[in-house]
Amino acid sequence: MNVAASFQFWSLDSSLRQIRLIKRSSVEHKHDENDINIEVETVSLSDSPRFIALSYAWGDPAKNVRISCNQKDLYITSNLARALCTVFAAFDKGKTPGFQHGDTILLWADGICINQDDIEEKASQIPLMRDIYSKAQSVIAYIGAPQRSKPKAAFMATAQLGNAEIFLSQDRPERVTIQFDIVALHELWTQPWFNRSWVFQEMILAPDVMCLYGDGAEHASWPLSVIHTLIDRMQDMNNPHRQIPSGSGDLAFESDWKEIARHNMLSVDSWVKLRKMLQKSHNGLNPVTVAVHFRKADATDKRDKVYSLLGLLNDSHRSSIRVDYSEQ
């Protein structure tokens, strides 16, 4: 039995603004996380390469999925493996903004393109993430995958909620009954991806975002702009009269799930507002403004609560913060 050698990361030249990009080695229509075959190459951001940046939640940090990278073994997290399979399936269906079917598509994903075990490389690559996400041809957001419902049902339930008149008023005290998949709504809007600190920066910097939800070929895709439009139609999500339907019986979820969903919906709204502010500023945002919106965001490493904001700050504040993972 032949055993492949382990993939070894090579050094990147920070003075040349080098990054690594992923290219799928095989064009076969396989979307199995146990059969991922990729190549990784080096490019310079100064050369304006065409690529797609991936946004996803790390999930379980254990690297227990083996893939083939440059014909060598590389272990990655299960959520990244699932994200790659789903992205490749989207490529095969031609759902990639800015690219034509059959184009060679290069992808940036931090779990592969940054050597996570090299603290010096992490420190030099993190300041580049501002350009990685703002200058990418597009950004694909892998939200996650449902356990009990269909991916498309989640987006349809959000669409129905966004178009529905479901609040109480003096002249119409009863709640309007809407028939839709409450399980799908619950599973989508409680995904951890929505509250990760790095995701906030990625979504604010991104010029164009396509959201993928599902696993491999069984996924749904919607532009983030459409999802935000639906959220915007719900008007004031803090209004106590604005109701997200509850589950009952077998559909009774944890009591705070609607608060989680409401918080995550408001996060999407914040991303769009901060993106507009960033575009008008031409230099970056004030750290206080950013911190107000980021204060409840999650990060496994608490230092990332700060580092994940760097790409949004103005030059003077960004230069005063040094990325350093050497001290615990």
Which residues make Cβ contacts (< 8 Å) with residue 22, sequence separation at least 6?
Answer: 38, 39, 40, 84, 106, 107, 108, 109, 112, 113
The Cα angle at residue 287 between residues 54 and 325, in degrees rounded to 5: 60
pLDDT single digits (tens) 58-106:
999 999 999 999 999 999 999 999 999 999 988 887 766 656 666 678 9
pLDDT reported for residue 105:
83
Give helix then strand counts, H and E, for the chain: 12, 9
* pLDDT-derived band at 172, boundaries 50, 70, 90: very low
Question: In angstroms, rounded to a whole number, what is the distance separating the alpha carbons of residues 209 and 225?
Answer: 8
* pLDDT-derived band at 34, boundaries 50, 70, 90: low
The Cα angle at residue 100 between residues 97 and 102, in degrees rounded to 5: 130
* pLDDT-derived band at 293, boundaries 50, 70, 90: confident
Question: In angstroms, rounded to a whole number, what is the distance separating the alpha carbons of residues 222 and 97?
Answer: 11
Question: In angstroms, rounded to a whole number, what is the distance separating the alpha carbons of residues 43 and 166?
Answer: 51
Q: Which of 136, 174, 147 is nearest to 48 (CA)?
A: 136
Which range among 4-18, 97-111, 128-142, 166-180 shows the weakest confidence by mean pLDDT? 166-180
Checking phi first, is residue 171 left (phi over 0); if not, alpha (psi -120 to 50) or beta? alpha
* pLDDT-derived band at 33, boundaries 50, 70, 90: low
Higher-confidence residue of 109 and 254: namely 109
Run of H or E including 317: helix 315-319
Question: In angstroms, rounded to a whole number, what is the distance separating the alpha carbons of residues 128 and 79?
Answer: 23
Return the percentage of the chain with pLDDT > 70, whole number.
Answer: 80
Q: What are the contacts of 178-184 at 24+ separation with CB within 8 A?
A: 178/245, 180/156, 181/149, 181/150, 181/153, 181/154, 181/156, 181/157, 182/157, 182/245, 182/246, 182/247, 182/251, 183/148, 183/149, 183/247, 183/251, 184/146, 184/149, 184/150, 184/153, 184/154, 184/156, 184/157
* pLDDT-derived band at 195, boundaries 50, 70, 90: very high
pLDDT single digits (tens) 118-164:
999 999 999 999 999 999 999 999 999 999 999 999 988 888 776 64
SS3 60: coil
pLDDT reported for residue 112:
97
Are residues 276 and 98 in contact, defined by beta-carbon separation less than 8 angstroms?
Answer: no
pTM for this one? Answer: 0.88
Q: Which of 90, 86, 65, 91 is nearest to 146 (CA)?
A: 86
Q: What is the DSSP string of 120-188?
A: HHHHHHGGGHHHHHHHSSEEEEEEE--SSS-HHHHHHHHHHHHH---B--SS--SPPP--S-HHHHHHH
Question: In angstroms, rounded to a whole number, what is the distance separating the alpha carbons of residues 174 and 277?
Answer: 39
Residue-averaged pLDDT of the chain: 83
